Amino acid sequence: MAQNFDRLTAKPTARRFRWIAPTTADQAPDIDIAKAYGRGGVVVEIGCGVGWHSITYCRNHPEKIVIAIERTRDKFSRFKSRILTNAPIPNLIPAHGDALRLLPPHLENLSIDSVFILYPNPEPKAKAQRWIHMPFLDLLREALCPEGRVVFATNVQNYADEILATAPSRGWIVSKDKRINICDSPDFQPRTHFEKKYFLRGETLRHIELKKKDPS
C-alpha cells in the first residue's frame, strides 16, 4: 500500500479532515480527526521534530489523541521512519506542514488539553515571530479546555523571561516556571534530542506552563 505522510486532505463542508498516518510498514489507515471534535484529551505538539516526545507521550497516555506537527521535511522523514519501526500507535496523528496553516480552520471544533512547543527557534531578530507574540497563540487559547495548558521548553533564558513578562498581558496565567539542570536533576529524562543535548551540556532548561485567564 502506498505510503503518504505529507498530504493533509480537507473536507470543509463536512467540517473534518484527515491525516494519512501509517502506523506500521504494512498498514496505512486514514485517521479521521473528526473523532477528536468536541471532546477533551486532545494534545498538540508543534515542531515535534523526529518524534521523540510525541511517540513517548502517546505510549504513556493512550487515552489522549496526539496531533504531532513538523514543518521541515528532513525531520518529518525521520519521524516517519521512527513511526514505522514502532508498534502501532493508534492515538498518534502525524502531520507534515506549518501549524499556522493546518490548525486554525479546525480549532473551533477541538477541545485541546495541552499544546507542547518544545525548544522553538527563539527568533532573536524577529519579535513578531516569537510564539508568545503571535495572534495564533490567542486562537490556541480559545481552543483550550478550561484547565488546558500551553507548555514551552527552552534553553534560552531571555526567551523564557520574555514569555513570563508578556504572558499576563496576552490573557495567560503562568502556572509553572521550572528550571532544570544536570547538577540539580541528574535523573531527569530528556523529552527531545535537543533537550538531551542541552541537558548533557550542562545548560539550564526552562519548563514553562501557561493557562488561560478566567474570563470572569
Bridge-based pairing state of the strands 65-70 and 8-11: unpaired
pLDDT score at 11 = 31
pLDDT digit string (tens) for the chain, length 216 residues = 233 333 333 333 233 333 333 333 333 333 455 556 666 679 999 999 999 999 999 999 998 999 999 999 999 999 999 888 878 888 898 888 899 988 888 787 778 999 999 999 999 999 999 999 999 999 999 999 988 999 999 999 999 999 999 999 999 999 999 999 999 999 999 999 999 999 999 999 999 999 998 765
Task: Give the separation between CA 137 and CA 143, rounded to whole angstroms.
Answer: 10
Which CATH architecture describes the domain 111-216? 3-Layer(aba) Sandwich (3.40)
Q: Give the C-alpha distances (Å, rounded to integers) separating 144 from 14, 44, 93, 109.
A: 22, 11, 18, 11
Task: Give the separation between CA 45 and CA 133, rounded to whole angstroms.
Answer: 18
Q: Cell 551540556 identifies what position?
A: 201
pLDDT score at 7 = 33
DSSP 33-51: GGGGBT-S-EEEEES-TTS
pTM of the shown model: 0.82
Each residue of 25-68: pLDDT tens digit?
333 333 455 556 666 679 999 999 999 999 999 999 998 999 99
Task: Give the separation between CA 60 and CA 211, rounded to whole angstroms.
Answer: 23
pLDDT score at 103 = 86
Domain coordinates in residue numbering, the chain: 1-7+16-39+65-105, 111-216
